[in-house]
Amino acid sequence: VTGLPAGPFLCWALLGFVCLSGIAVEVKVPTEPLSVPVGKTAELSCSYSTSVGDNFALEWSFVQPGKPISASHPILYFTNGHLYPTGSKAERASLLQNPPTRGVATLRLTDVRPSDTGTYLCHVNNPPDFYTNGLGLINLTVLVPPSNPLCTQNGPTFVGGSTELRCYSSEGAPKPVYNWVRLGSSPTPSPGSMVQDEVSGQLILTNLSLTSSGTYRCVATNQMGSSSCELTLSVTDSSKGRVAGTLIGVLLGVLLLSVAAFCLIRFQKERKKKPKETYGGSELREDATAPGIFEQSSMKVDSSKGLLERSPSTSTVTTTKSKLPMVV
């Protein structure tokens, strides 16, 4: 179609569809990201220009870092003259001006938390103003001081070797930087043997010596503050360690031999203390009479009769001859 006026006031009929005249909705938000300390109140500015009508609607929504705009969740919306907070932030979210019908739609969020970090969408919808999407985006960062870092050590600590010290804070926004320092009056290791990464919190110590022993402190810092942890490093001489290990092995061997000798001697003593074994009835005794040999009779003298009596235990018969005087 030719000869029709162009611009936002364009109005024509085409293929049965009617385009109503109106002006474009213009939403303005800060171009710079907003940073607010944890626990404070954030005010996310949003203004707009349009002719507010009966169909005017406003919505604030939130999307977490790294996710698309389509994944946003509503915080509050205004429609038909009423304000409706919604979602997990409903109790902390409000509008600077309510109702937001005078061109200001600033969002106020109290007691901000680390989970509030992300992108906020201010969306104004005012049919029949369809010429723009009426959308403004604001990035909010909740500032959090570094939490107490954890200091760890990994690797051998022998003379001439290398070891690694690590430092990490689980919380902190923006992400903290790390700096390792040596405490005390001991000489600081040479620059070539001490290399650190401020982003990862890693400290590498090479060519260790006995003077490398000492206490090291890691300081985590961001614009909200700093916190630290300490670690004590003990460097040992591996050659002395081998000598000590050999000596300990010898001592253990001597101890084991001593214990074995003591047990053997005690066993011998206990064996000597045992009583002799008693022979049973079926065993052969040393004083037994050999078979086929008669036992000799045991005689008893009867002092009153003057006779010799055989022991009742004998079975042989002995004839005793008495001597009588002969008569001539």
Strand 82-85 and strand 202-205: the pairing is unpaired
Residues contacting residue 168 through CB under 8 Å, at least 6 positions apart: 149, 150, 201
What's the pLDDT at 23?
63
* Amino acid (one-letter) located at 123: H
**CA–CA distance, 29 with 122 (Å, rounded to integer):** 8
Instruction: Name the pTM for this structure.
Output: 0.61
What's the pLDDT at 26?
87
**CA–CA distance, 200 with 178 (Å, rounded to integer):** 7
What's the pLDDT at 127?
82
Residue 323 falls in which region: left (phi positive, over 0), alpha (psi -120 to 50) or beta: beta
**Mean pLDDT, consecutive 10-residue segments, the chain of 328 residues?**
37 35 77 95 93 87 94 94 92 93 94 96 84 86 97 92 95 95 76 86 93 93 96 84 67 82 79 59 49 44 42 41 43
Give the dihedral of Cα atoms 255, 257, 261, 262; nearest 10 deg.
20
Tokens representing residue 165 in the block: 């010290």
